[in-house]
Structure 1
Amino acid sequence: MTNLNLEIAQVGNSILRQKAEMVRNIGDEKLQQLIDRLLTTARDANGVGIAAPQVYQSYRLFIICSRPSPRYPDAPLMEPTAMINPSIISHSDEIVKGWEGCLSVPDVRGLVPRYREIIVEYLDRYGESHRQELSDFVARIFQHELDHLDGILFIDRVEKSEDLMDKESGEVSQIKS
């Protein structure tokens, strides 16, 4: 059996700082294969989301796959969803801080401010348009993954150094971006 997992770009790699390109041909077989491989990679890495730029593909595409895992034991369970050319069309005024990690920034957690509720639009893997209201943890995942499409990492959103810590030692980390 072939390993479908993709290599995940790590902090410091320039692909993570680039603005991703709009997806123009959703039916393209290579894009559909990328979606399948993103789903497998996120699942096997215990991630709750992954964006195409994290696997060296500059497309406005990410997966949200919230489920309880060792990294996020309280995450809600949802069907893994590919979101193509996603956008936030409105958001609540309420901003909440929550701890985030990233497959591209291993062993680091940050306390990141995000909108508590958002209304989003995206195309699914079949080209169907969706508008959805997301809140709390799933809204946080969406905003985190959308940042990846704009070359932003969660460490850029942390407001003060005390809100960034090494997962192992619990101490403030120095991170090369």
Structure 2
Amino acid sequence: MITMDQIIREGHPTLRKKAEELSFPLTDKEKETARQMLEFLQNSQDPELAEKYGLRPGIGLAANQIDVPKRMFALHIVDEGTEPVSFVIVNPKIASHSAAKAYLPGGEGCLSVDREVPGFVPRYAKVTIKGFTPEGEPIKRRLKGLSAIAFQHELDHLNGIMFYDHIDPDEPFRDYPDAEPLGEQ
């Protein structure tokens, strides 16, 4: 079981490296890593398990956040009032995206960042994503809202980009004319 002790924090060199593509079939170890990443997110959102194991709640976890520099991540978003999103994606890509952008009004957080980083992170409001399940089955989905933002956050991790790299250092809460706060589109 993955706990907060396995999640590397900002400053660790793996977080700034571009993760490697995986080839199929995945090894048993890679499949187990995928399973455990999704399990961590599910456990972190269960108040009893989160307290028992000292887990910070998360909706996304990239493999390189547990010091495995490979192109896969897990998303688990079930309380957004829309269709639940819960999967691991291998070799993820954005196939297309909306012109419109969105951001979280309260800013983004990250399991690898133990501090508040205020500011807006504009991202595409809708994305069509492609990739594979850990078993090698193709995935193609359209995501919007929080799930689209979370997908882009995790994809950034695989490219060595942290969410705060997108924040304007001089004006963190500046107005983005082409972006709406999530919930106001």
- TM-score norm. by structure 1 comes to 0.81
Work out the percentage of aligned pairs sharing the same amino acid. Answer: 32
Distance, in Å, in 2 between the alignment partners of 1:26 and 1:148 is 23
Instruction: Give the partner amino acid of 1:85.
Output: N
In structure 1, distance between residues paired with 2:81 and 2:71: 24
**Structure 1 unaligned residues grouped into runs of 5+:** 69-73, 165-177
Q: 2:71: which partner in 1?
A: 60
Following TM superposition, the consecutive aligned residue runs of length 4 or more in structure 1 with deviations greater than 4 angstroms are 74-77
Gaps of 5+ in 2: 45-55, 174-185
Read off the aligned partner of 2:125 and give its amino acid letter: R
Give 1:174's aligned residue. Answer: none
More strand by share: 1
Query: CA separation in 2, counterparts of 1:158 and 1:100?
Result: 10
Amino acid at match of 2:148: A
Note if 1:116 corresponds to 2:122: no
Let me know the Cα RMSD of the aligned residues: 1.9
Matched residues in 1 for 2:95 and 2:63: separation? 21
Selected match of 1:105 from 104, 113, 130? 113
**3-state SS of the aligned residue for 2:155?**
helix
Structure 2 counterpart of 1:46, one-letter code: P
Residue type matched to 2:71 in 1?
Answer: R
- Out of 129, 134, 144, the position equivalent to 2:138 is 129
SS of alignment partner, residue 112 of structure 1: coil
Task: Find the partner of 2:100 among 94, 97, 106.
Answer: 94
Asked if the contact 1:26–1:32 (Cα under 8 Å) also holds between the matched residues in 2, the reply is no
- Count how many residue pairs are aligned between Structure 1 and Structure 2: 157
Residues 66 and 75 in structure 1, CA contact (< 8 A), matched pair in contact too: no
- Aligned-partner Cα distance in 1 for 2:11–2:2: 24
Tell me the TM-score normalised to structure 2 length.
0.78
Indicate how the Cα distance of structure 1 residues 18 and 134 shifts in structure 2: closer, same or farther if over 3 A, else same.
Answer: same
Provide the rounded CA distance (Å) in 2 between the counterparts of 1:60 and 1:146. 8
AA in 1 matched with 2:137: E
Match of 1:36 in 2: 35
- Letter aligned with residue 144 of structure 2: S
Q: Distance in 2 between matches of 1:91 and 1:79?
A: 18
User: Does residue 80 of the first structure (1) align with residue 86 of the second (2)?
Assistant: yes
The answer (yes or no) to whether the contact 2:85–2:147 under 8 Å persists in 1 is: no
Check whether the contact 1:66–1:76 (CA below 8 A) recurs between aligned residues: no
Q: Which residue is equivalent to 2:10?
A: 11
Query: Is the 1:75–1:137 Cα contact (8 Å) retained in structure 2?
Result: no
